[in-house]
Each structure stands twice: as C-alpha cells, then as structure tokens.
Structure 1
Amino acid sequence: MTIMQNNETKLKPTIEPISQAARKAMREKIDNLAKPVGGLGNLEVLAVDLAGIEQRVELQTEKRCCLVFCGDHGVEREGVSATPRRVTAMQAVNMAAGHSSVAALAKANHCEVKVIDVGIDADILDQAVINLKIRKGTNNFLEKPAMTRDEAIRDVQAGYDVAAQAIHEGNQILCVGELGIANTTVSSAMIASLLSLPVADVVGRGSVISDKRLAHKIDVVEKGLAKWQPDPTDGLDVLSKVGGFEIGAKAGAMICAAAHHVPLIMDGFISYAALALAEAMCPGIQRYVIASHATRQAGTKAILKKLGVTPMFNLGMATGEGSGAVVTLALIDDIQSVLKNMTTLEDMGVNFTA
C-alpha cells in the first residue's frame, strides 16, 4: 500500500449505524408528553434524530461550534459569478471579526465560529483566521483538474482534523459553512457528477446572475464534466477534477462528526455537494447529518431526495456561510426546552385516544 493509499484509507472510517434503541426511547418520551402525538411536528423528528446520533435520550447540545471553510476557485475566471474573488478574503476577515451573517446569527444562538482558510487566493494576515491553506485557489477546471488527488486527500483531512479538534474542545454539536466566490458553479459540477443529475437541473443563479450568465455557467459546468469525466463512485476523483477546497474540507468535517457520533448541521447548496462527496467516500454519513434548510438554488428538491435528507425549514435563504445551520440551533434549543419542561400525560392523568 502506498502512502497516498494509506492516507485515503484513514479518511474512510467505518461509520456505525445510529442507535435505533435511543431513537425509540426518545420517541416514547416525546409521545408521553402532555400534547397530541406528533403535535410538535418536525421538532419531534429532530429530537429523535439527535438521540440516534448521540446514542442517548438526554441530549447534549449546549456547546456548539460552526466551522466555516474558505477557498477560491480557478473557474471564477470564466465569469460565472457576478462577485469578484477578492470578496472571499475580505469576507473571511469580516467573519472572523464577528460581522458577517453567520457570525451575527451565531451570537444569537450561543455558537462559536471558526473561520478556516483552506484555499483563499490571498495571504490572510489576520490571526483570527485559521491557516490550513492547501494552496491559493483551485485550478480553472476548463484548463486542468481543479487539484491533484494528493491535494484532495490533504483537503479532506484538514476538514476532518478541524472537526476533531472542535470535538476535543468539548463541542457537542457542529455546524458547517463556507466562503468561496463561484462555489455554486463548482458545487453544481460535483452534484451533477456524484448524484447523476442533469447539469441544467442543478445549476442555479448563485449570486443572482443574469439569464445570459446563467446559460454561460451551465455551459462551463457541462464542458468541465465532459473534459475530465470524473468517476461518481470515487469521491476523491470528483473532488480533484471539478471540486473546491472548502467543499472537500466540509466533507472531511462530516466524516469526522459521524465517526465520533456528534451531530453535524449542514447548511445549504454547497453543503449538499459536501454531503454527496462524504457519502461517496463513507456510505452512511447522511444519517449523522441534520439538514437545516432548503435553499432557493436550482434542483434543491431533487438533490435532497437523492441525498436522502429532509430539511427542517425553508426561509428562502441563499447566503451560505453556515447561516441556515446556525439558525437550526434555535430549533434544537426549542425542543430541548420542551423535553426539560413539559409535564407528561401520566402527570396530568390524561390519555389522548384515537
């Protein structure tokens, strides 16, 4: 076995099934609360899912952290985005200072935010941004593969290691987000390949682009996939040929969380690509991931169906950064309050009958 093969093996741990016993116990506990069965809808589903992941009924969700991975994309030079790439570096510093969307929402939900540079096309001097840069941006995948396979391995490992450190620090629940101009283009390419979906069905407007630019964006993705023919059964092949550093790192964080039985809340469209990648590498990951929201990007319904996950809500969000994931923490706090404060049917001497 070569060193590279050995490193790949480390990124594909055996993912244990979630605890059906804990899920059943949580369902019984919720059904015994003084309310109609199923009366709290998806909040109840959320509690049952968390119990299965954590393997316990007494949920531990107080200490939480959002990992925001940042990287730039060579394909941005094809004019697929209305936003210039320099914004990635600017927003990373702004986020680390606590002034971006996810940072503001995290404060409201008692969540730490870690900003990690895995591929920004600039030197970030701000020490508040964690430097795990693989290199300064990916290649333009119309000209050459986005990255080497070795870089793809290092990228996923970086995300795994950051998540492992966050768990070691005592975090009981993780959120993931991202920064990267043109990453909806890259995510569309990865999703189309990994989930075998038509390119035109999954390429959206991203940063609110014109019809002309949207058509160009679809053409760019189709040409990139046709040129490199990534193998959908080999996640690292897809990542290396048409992927992005922030997406690979997010997938690594998902793999780590699942291996440690820690719930991970994913964000929107870019997270869909990361989950598709993680699932291709380690089947069973999706059972450990909580889908926060359905984005307004193209193909969301079909993508989520393919991934086998159901989002908690749809607020029409399309900001990225992990904003939707952090908003979900409020729902977790809501169901925790229900579990801790509601009386039971036995306490009230009431029995709801069909």
Structure 2
Amino acid sequence: MKKFEIPSLNEEMGRQVSDYINTLTKPIGSLGRLEDLAIELAKITGKPFPEVLPPGVIVFAADHGIVQEGVSAFPQEVTAQMVENMVNGGAAINVFSRQIGAQFKVVDVGVAADVVDEGVIHKKVRRGTASFLNEAAMTREEAIQALSVGYEEAKGFMETGMKCLIVGEVGIGNTTASSAVLACLTGIKPEEIVGQGTGISKEQLERKIKVVKQAIDRRQPDPQDAIDLVANIGGLEMAAMAGAMLAAAERRIPILLDGFICTVSACIAHLLAPVSSDYMIVSHQSAEPGHSVAVQYLKKRPILQLGMRLGEGSGAAVAFPILEAAVNMTAEMATFAKANVSNKTAASITINK
C-alpha cells in the first residue's frame, strides 16, 4: 500500500496571520471563530491569504451487506436510486453544491446494482460488502483498492484547481458499518454510538446495537490497523473517503468534514496517517450520537449545529460559506494603518498579498 507523505502544518504562517488579523479594523478577537478559521487555513495551505474557491464535492456510493440483518428503514435498492437522483441534480447535495459553485462528481465504488448512468464515475471494487455479522465485509485487498480509488479521484479533482475538499457518501446501511468501526476504534460501547440512521424504529435500533456488538465480537478487528477495521466491519465508500482525504492532506488542501460517516472515515485516515487530521475542519455537529465521539477522537470542534443527519456531504456544503468569510476577512479588510483609524494597541504589520 502507498505510503502517505503529509507535511506538517505551517505554524509560522499561522503566527504571522494571527498578528496580521490583530491589525485589522476591529477589536481584537471580535470576529471570534472566523479569526481562528483564517489562522487554521493559513497553517494548512502555508499561505497568508488562502483560497478555498472552487470547492470540490465527491460523493462515493456503495452498498452494505449488513442491511440483511434488519438494521435500516430502507431497502438496499435505494442506494442506486439515490445515485441516479444525484446524477440528475435532485439531491440535497446537488442543491448545496450549486449554491457554493462546487465542482461535483459521484463515484460508484461498490453499489450492489448496475449503475449505468453516464454521469457516474464507475470505479466499482465489488458489488457491495458482505454482511459483516457473518463474514468479513471485504478482503484486505479490496479495502486497499477502495482507498486507492478515493485517493486518485481526489487527486484528479485537485489537478483541475479545486481548493477545498468536501467528501460525501450514499449507501444504505452505512451508519451501522460506521458505528461498528468507531466502537472498535475507540472502545466505547455501541449503545453510546449507534443512532437511528435513516429513521429506524426503537425495535430496529435495539437490533442494530445487538448486530454491532455481535459483529465486533465475531470479527475481532485490530483497532490499530485501519485496513483491518475497514475490511472486517467497514464499507467501501468509507475507505474511498479516507483515501480522498489523504490525497488532499498531502497537497495542503483543506478538508471540510461532513457528518457521522464522513467523520468516522476521517478517523480511518487519521489512523493511517495521524498528521492528516490537521488538515480537517468539522463543518457541523450531526444529530447522530456517534458523531460527537468521532469529533472528540479527532480533537475537533464543529462550526455549526443544525440538527442535520443526511450525509452526502450536505452539512459541509452548507458550512462552506463560513470558510469563504474567514479568508475574505483576512484578504479584504483594511488595517488600522491603511484606513487611518486610530488604534493604540495594534502594531503595523504587513503581509504581502
């Protein structure tokens, strides 16, 4: 498997931008989290005035054999139907991608059905995973292949000029796989992680928790081996999302994380290359209970809290304008000196634009 070479954050650039922000025509710290984000983006990109336009949205689609165990409110065929809806521009992520002017693509990395629409990028590793209650979800080789698909798709996007990565997913059963991976990775009990996903009943929720517990006990994946976790109890789209994040981190591209499944995939990327999480920003706090566990594992703080739990990259796309505001603040606001505004505390600091 490829060795990921991810640079450290540019801490010196962060210090320079922090000092510069304090010379802008406002009380120090008065723009709150926007100032923190501007500094964080400077560290990530190594540039005093980072660019986040255009963003790129990649949705990875895959099915999960675990749906055979009655853990979802929707049947498996919904995955292929949702892929078609995305290609036709009718999904929530399409709406929000258009709103932010994002480049957009859907990648079939493991849909169980044949997806023939020419608008889909066909990179199917296998036709869905196996039910990991009874056998490994996939082979180790398939997990690595899915990771590589995500890496290459993100790499291609960045070669076209994409400046901020948003990854999304679609796949019935993926909250069950994500719950299993996160429970194993953190050692936290499944009942504290497993949520309602697509809107299952109380009885189905109890069944889902039981399935996750039994699957972890039977598969015994190594919590320190990201590929073993994915192969035993994960999903093809999760591996692909992790691969895409690693490609972005290698190239100093900020990664705007979405909700539960995306953030668990980020945990997989972190396990493969710990420095990669320095390039991640959590867009929002999902309503899925396991999301806060994943966020804490990555030591992050969400930007928004809107009660969302759709996935697809939708929450990240909604939060993206806040990143725009942070970089525009630094690039376009006048300093006290330039505006001839009196200020007794701020020194005159210049950063070349």
Of 101, 117, 121, the match for 1:110 = 101
**Which residue in 2 is equivalent to 1:4?**
none
In the alignment, does 2:50 pair up with 1:53? no
Of 231, 234, 243, the match for 2:234 = 243
CA contact (8 A) 1:205 1:214 kept: yes
CA contact (8 A) 2:260 2:290 kept: no
**Which residue in 1 is equivalent to 2:341?**
349
CA contact (8 A) 2:38 2:326 kept: yes
CA contact (8 A) 2:59 2:313 kept: yes
Once residues 155 and 81 of structure 2 are traced to their aligned partners in structure 1, the CA distance between those partners, rounded to angstroms, is: 27
How much has 1:14 moved relative to structure 2?
2.7
How much has 1:328 moved relative to structure 2?
2.0
CA contact (8 A) 2:56 2:164 kept: yes
**Which residue in 1 is equivalent to 2:9?**
18
How does the TM-score come out when normalised to structure 1? 0.95
How much has 1:351 moved relative to structure 2?
2.1
How much has 1:78 moved relative to structure 2?
0.7
**Identity across aligned pairs (percent)?**
38
Structure 2: 5+ residue stretches without partners: 347-353
**Which residue in 2 is equivalent to 1:261?**
252
In the alignment, does 2:77 pair up with 1:80? no
Q: How well do the aligned residues superpose, as a CA RMSD in angstroms? A: 1.3
CA contact (8 A) 1:65 1:166 kept: yes
CA contact (8 A) 1:175 1:322 kept: yes
Aligned residue type for 1:112: Q
Once residues 287 and 330 of structure 2 are traced to their aligned partners in structure 1, the CA distance between those partners, rounded to angstroms, is: 32
Could you say what secondary structure the match of 2:61 adopts?
strand
Once residues 246 and 293 of structure 2 are traced to their aligned partners in structure 1, the CA distance between those partners, rounded to angstroms, is: 23
How does the TM-score come out when normalised to structure 2? 0.95
**Which residue in 1 is equivalent to 2:314?**
323
In the alignment, does 2:180 pair up with 1:189? yes
**Which residue in 2 is equivalent to 1:283?**
274
How much has 1:353 moved relative to structure 2?
5.6
How much has 1:192 moved relative to structure 2?
0.8
CA contact (8 A) 1:194 1:280 kept: no
Where do 4+ consecutive residues of structure 1 move more than 4 Å? Answer: none
Structure 1: 5+ residue stretches without partners: 1-7
CA contact (8 A) 1:46 1:332 kept: yes
**Which residue in 2 is equivalent to 1:302?**
293
Aligned residue type for 1:351: N
CA contact (8 A) 2:284 2:303 kept: yes
CA contact (8 A) 2:61 2:83 kept: yes
Pairs aligned (count): 345
CA contact (8 A) 2:147 2:239 kept: yes
Once residues 327 and 270 of structure 2 are traced to their aligned partners in structure 1, the CA distance between those partners, rounded to angstroms, is: 29
**Which residue in 2 is equivalent to 1:92?**
83
Deviations 1:100-121 (A, max 9, x none): 0011011111112110000001
How much has 1:352 moved relative to structure 2?
6.2
Once residues 84 and 41 of structure 1 are traced to their aligned partners in structure 2, the CA distance between those partners, rounded to angstroms, is: 44
How much has 1:343 moved relative to structure 2?
1.8
Aligned residue type for 1:302: V
